Structure 1
Amino acid sequence: MILHGPPSSGKTSLAHIISQMTEAYFVKLNSVSLSIKELRDVISKAHDASKMYGKKTIVFLDEIHAMKSNVQMTLLPAVEDGTITLIGATTESVMHEIIGPLLSRCRVYTFKRLTKQQMTEVILEALHNPVRGLGSSVNMNDDALNYLIDISDGDVRAALGALENVYHSIEHETTITMLMIQEVYENRINTVSTNDQYNLMSAFIKSMRGSNTDAALYWLSRMLYAGIDPMYIARRIVVHSVEDVGMANPHALTMAINAKEAVHFIGDHEGMLPLAQAVVYICESPKSNSVYKAIGQAMNYVKEHPIQEVPDSIKQGSNRYKNPIDYPDVQLNYFEESDKTRFYHPQDSGTEAKIYKRYKNKENN
């Protein structure tokens, strides 16, 4: 099985519970530095334990996404024939970081961030448990508790670390206040896994496409705060300016390119300003995906139909060619199927509305 979810959501804890409830050997390996040789040694011992003593071996691989693909491949035969029972844990995208053959042999369980109620229960247990906690030697007021839960964003490990730091920093105080938490915990937890990054970008793009300016600015800020490369964000804005705004407002592409160049020129921190301006401009622009559809249809046509010869009248150096700017009534054959094939269908939106009306007039005539 693969346990997938955000940090401190209980993946490793569940693996330890399984190890305590089974009679199998339990081996925990470090995925970051694991070599093929080390893994083969574990598999060999697991094979001997099964053959000689009839005992199964559970191999727990924390942060399994860090394993190189060739090391992951080494697992396949042992997982396939049951030599080992694999439990992998990861915070990253399962689809992008785990090789397909291994993923197909595993069941994936997705963990969610701890809720506010769950965080409250754990923190209060840490405050009052006499064996594993602080044993009620200090209290925490509601403001401090709510602030700690809010800023740790479901990461109970970080919350407990902050609580422990506060406890060791106070001398004669018996009540932990919000100010005490703020002194040891200045920045909000905002880690972003590979899967999170794809989801954040998806939300960002869809918010711009839906012309929801405030939502787009929120997702932009989330990505910038988490440290996602502003140039990566800028490139996506450029793509969106053509894909979803397109001919309805051709200036959107210019705005997006300028924002990308500005980020490169002034740096990441102040670069958020041109990015935000481009986002607002694109959100408030009329939308058209006619260009996106047109090039997609043209590419499919090229892929699915025989190659078209270039008509003689428009070949290089043809003496039959007449410039339509100088001869507006000239009839030229640009493409053999041009009479019955259309890729571009303008939409009645923004600047493109003029083109849309012209096409409509041609159809009516």
Structure 2
Amino acid sequence: MARNPSATEDLFGETESRSAPSGPVPLAERLRPRELADVVGQDHLVGIKGSLTRMLARGSLASLILWGPPGVGKTTIARLLADRAGLIFTQISAVFSGVADLKRVFEEAARRRRTGARTLLFVDEIHRFNRAQQDGFLPVVEDGTITLVGATTENPSFELNAALLSRCQVLVLRRLDDDALELLLTRAEDAMHLPLALTGAARASLRAMADGDGRAALNMAEQVFAAAPDSPLDELALAGLVARRAALYDRDREEHYNLISALHKSMRGSDPDAALYWLARMLTGGEEPRYIARRLTRFAVEDIGLADPQALTQSIAAWEAYERLGSPEGELAIAQLVLYLASAPKSNAAYRAFGAAKRAAQTTGSLAPPAHILNAPTKLMKDLGYGAGYAYDHDTEDAFSGQNYFPDGMARENFYNPAGRGQEAEVKRRLDHWAKLREQRR
């Protein structure tokens, strides 16, 4: 029996029935786009000049990794690509599949290929496969047995093998913006033949609660339709009816590093309001406050340093206050610290100086200190010249001898260059003064 070249097959290669299911179909499924052009919020991929549009026009659909947050159309795009390219769509999930399942899928795809049909294998949550399982895709992708379309919410650079990435094109799907979510709500109203019973403010609140997830927006809209209120719901009534989608945050995944980077750079950029926002995002997402306190302490010595030596003291105090108070009360101490650090004068001179000193130490090896600054607790050491010629700085003019303290055979280095901001302005003045005295007393 001839196969439909764009049929859908399950894990074991059996063609799925296209007849309507017996139970009610969720609104999000009923509104699943039938054409690539109907996918919202991803014009850079499926628009007139989109990457996928051009790829299909050339007749050269490559293996792909679709990277983006939940509810933005990854599965839908994969299905529509199979339809447009005349490929049999086969779907598996890395959460529920193992090596044996992959082997069956590959064997079925190879058998199908011998009959002239080709397979698009969609792998949801592909990052859940371990390195060995990912390696299993290499030969069948390389020889064309399958066209692979993997979907992931995690950064492929961190989660996927370099060998697999080199054989696939990574396409980034964007979080749905407010206009895209509104378009989905309008489509839902058209499908239901009635308007959403929401005030304008509640409608905006629903879009915000969806947090860029189209599926979440449609699921919430479906709850509003099902409730069939007599009058439009306001924001408070909507919140009582539907649950806000939890903000995306995973403490051991990319979002963790994205948000701590945003917090760090906002403080470095002296923007206390933005810094406070990213702190709140992290705490709301469930980040461990002690981790934040540790990173803030690092910031105090890396990005402020001696421009405001109190920054380190404030950091330790806030950390200790959190340890004494716990959450949520202690989080206010961390918030206060974020405001202090973001508002403080900035200098990375100490950080740069230490890095330069470490590089010099690695280069110069085990050069000994000059003899005149060595202690001589024994007669033998005195006879060897230890401590000879040392000038006690407190006994000199200006309490500054100007002697050399670098190893013999190493030229003097200038590692620390104060930024001249905050208290480092005074430090810079003193160092410049001592540099002149040193030059005069050579």
Distance 1:59 1:188 in 2: 30
For 1:60 and 1:76, locate their aligned partners in 2 and report how far apart those are by CA, in whole Å. 15
Return the alpha-carbon distance in structure 2 between the equivalents of residues 69 and 83 of structure 1.
20
2: CA distance, partners of 1:60 / 1:261: 50
Kept in 2: contact 1:314–1:334 (CA 8 A): no
Match of 1:277 in 2: 336
Shift of 1:248: 1.1
Alpha carbons of 1:262 and 1:68: their partners in 2 closer, same or farther (altered >3 Å)?
farther
1:141 counterpart residue number: 199
State the TM-score, normalizing by the size of structure 1: 0.88
1:81 Cα deviation after fit: 2.6
Answer whether contact 2:121 2:146 (CA < 8 A) is retained.
yes
Alignment match, 1:363 = 435
| 1:269 aligned counterpart, secondary structure | coil
**Counterpart of 1:114?**
176
Structure-2 residue corresponding to 1:184: 241
1:100-158 CA deviation, whole Å, 9 max, x = no partner?
A: 222222111111121222211211211231xxxx3327644323222211222221211
Q: Which shifted more, 136-145 or 74-83? A: 136-145
- Summarize the alignment of residues 46-125 of structure 1 with structure 2, pairs less than 5 Å apart: 46-50=109-113, 52-125=114-187
Q: Partner of 1:342 in structure 2? A: 414
Between 1:197-206 and 1:281-290, the stretch displaced more is 197-206
How does 1:237-252 map onto structure 2 within 5 Å? 237-252=296-311
The gaps in structure 2 that reach 5 residues or longer are 1-63, 438-442
Q: Which amino acid aligns with 1:54?
A: G
Secondary structure class of the residue paired with 2:433: helix
Once the two structures are overlaid, the 10-residue window that deviates more, 152-161 or 309-318, is 309-318
Q: In structure 2, what is the Cα distance between the partners aligned to 1:332 and 1:198?
A: 44
Q: 1-side partners of 2:96 and 2:321: how far apart? A: 40
Higher mean C-alpha displacement, 205-214 vs 179-188: 179-188
Could you tell me which residue of structure 1 aligns to residue 20 of structure 2? none
Change (3 A) 1:363 1:188: same
State the identity as a percent.
35
When the two chains are superposed, the root-mean-square deviation of aligned CA atoms in Å is 2.7
Q: For each residue in 1:10-39, what CA deviation from the matched residue of structure 2 results, as whole angstroms up to 9, or x when unmatched?
A: 111111212333332322111123322322
Q: Taking structure 1 as reference, are residues 263 and 89 closer, same or farther at Cα in structure 2, changes over 3 Å only?
A: farther
Residue of structure 2 equivalent to 1:300 = 359
The CA distance in 1 between the partners of 2:204 and 2:287, in whole Å, is 28
> Displacement of 1:216 after TM fit?
0.9
TM normalised by structure 2 equals 0.74
Q: Report the Cα offset of residue 2 of structure 1.
A: 1.0
Unaligned residue ranges in structure 1 (runs of 5+): none
What is the CA–CA distance in structure 2 between the aligned matches of 1:35 and 1:324, rounded to whole Å?
74
Whether the 8 Å contact between 1:138 and 1:176 is mirrored in structure 2 is no
Partner letter of residue 93 of structure 1?
Answer: N
Does residue 153 in structure 1 map to residue 211 in structure 2? Answer: yes
Partner of 2:322 in structure 1? 263
- Structure 1 or 2, whichever has the larger Rg, is 2
- SS of the residue corresponding to residue 206 of structure 1 reads helix
The answer as to whether partners of 2:196 and 2:221 remain within 8 angstroms in 1 is no
More displaced stretch, 212-221 vs 136-145:
136-145
Specify the alignment match of 1:3 in structure 2: 66
Please name the residue that 2:107 is paired with: 44
Whether the 8 Å CA contact 2:210–2:245 is kept in 1: the answer is yes
Residue identity matched to 2:344: S
1:207 to 263, 266, 270: 266
Cα pair distance change 1:302/1:82, threshold 3 Å: farther
Superimposed CA distance per residue, residues 29-75 of structure 1 (whole angstroms, 9 cap, x where no aligned partner):
1112332232233223323332x213222221112222222222222
Q: Could you tell me how far apart the structure 1 residues matched to 2:325 and 2:194 are?
A: 52
State yes or no: 1:314 paired with 2:374: yes
For the residues of structure 2 that align with 1:337 and 1:169, how far apart are their CA atoms? Answer: 84
Q: Give the deviation of 1:165 after TM superposition.
A: 2.2
The number of residues matched between the two structures is: 359
Q: 2: CA distance between counterparts of 1:168 and 1:106?
A: 43
Matched letter for residue 83 of structure 2: Q
